[in-house]
Structure 1
Amino acid sequence: MKTVEIIEKEQIKNLKFCRKEVLTDEQSKKRRGFDLMRAQALGNLLKNKVNITFRTEDEKLYQVNTTVWAVGTDFVSLKSDTHIPINAILEVD
C-alpha cells in the first residue's frame, strides 16, 4: 500500500495530474460525487473543511485538509484559485 503525503493547498498548484480516472467502479464514482457536493455545502454554509485524498500523474497519493468552494463537472475549486481534477480524487472525508 502506498503512503499518503499530507500537503497544504498552496502546494497543489505545483503538482501534475493525469487524465486517467482513479476510481474503477460506478458506485465509487457516484459516492465521490455525493461526497463532493456535501463538502461544497459544508464549505459554503459552515466554512467546514474536509480531507481530500487524490493521486497525481506520478502515482503519488496526497491528502489536503481544505474548504471546497465549488464543484464543477471536471474540477473541484478550492480557496486561493486552486483546482483539483475530479477524476484524480480517491476519497473525500
Structure 2
Amino acid sequence: MNQPTLIQKEDIIKIRFPKEEVLHSDLEIKTRDRELEKALLLGNLEHGKVKLTFLDLSNQAYQIETTIWALTDESICLKGDLLLPKRAVLSII
C-alpha cells in the first residue's frame, strides 16, 4: 500500500466508502475493534487524538487525525456529526 493521503476530517464527507470489509480476517477485525475502543477512551478521558487510516471505494488510502467521540456497531462518530464506517478502517495509531 502506498502512503496514505493526509486529509482533514471534514473532507470525509466527500469520500465514497467501500461496501465490503477492507480487512481480511476475523482476528484483524477484532483487533481493530479493540483499538477503536482504546481510542474512544483516550478521546473521552484525555481528549487525545488518533490517526485513522482508511480506504475509499477505489482502494485509495487516506489518513485523518481526530478524536473519536463515540462508536456504533457500524460507524465511528467524530466531532461535527461526521461518521466513518468501521469497515473502511485499516489501522488506528
The answer to whether TM tops 0.5 is yes
Letter in 1 for 2:70: A
Alignment of 1:12 with 2:3, yes or no, is no
Aligned to 2:38: 38
Letter in 2 for 1:6: L
In the aligned structure 2, how far is the partner of 1:23 from the partner of 1:10? 24
Match of 1:51, SS state, is strand
1:6-85 aligned at under 5 Å gives the runs 6-85=6-85
**Which digits, 9 at most, give the CA deviation of each residue in 1:31-87, with x for residues without a partner?**
100000010111011100000000011211000000000011000000011111000
| Alignment size in residue pairs | 93
Unaligned segments of structure 1, at least 5 residues = none
Unaligned segments of structure 2, at least 5 residues = none
Alignment of 1:86 with 2:86, yes or no, is yes
**Which digits, 9 at most, give the CA deviation of each residue in 1:1-20, with x for residues without a partner?**
32310000010111111111
In the aligned structure 2, how far is the partner of 1:13 from the partner of 1:23? 22
What TM-score do you get using the length of structure 1 for normalisation?
Answer: 0.96
In the aligned structure 2, how far is the partner of 1:54 from the partner of 1:71? 16
What TM-score do you get using the length of structure 2 for normalisation?
Answer: 0.96
In the aligned structure 2, how far is the partner of 1:83 from the partner of 1:92? 16
Letter in 2 for 1:27: L
Percent identity of paired positions between Structure 1 and Structure 2:
35
Q: RMSD across aligned C-alpha pairs, in angstroms?
A: 0.7
Match of 1:20, SS state, is coil
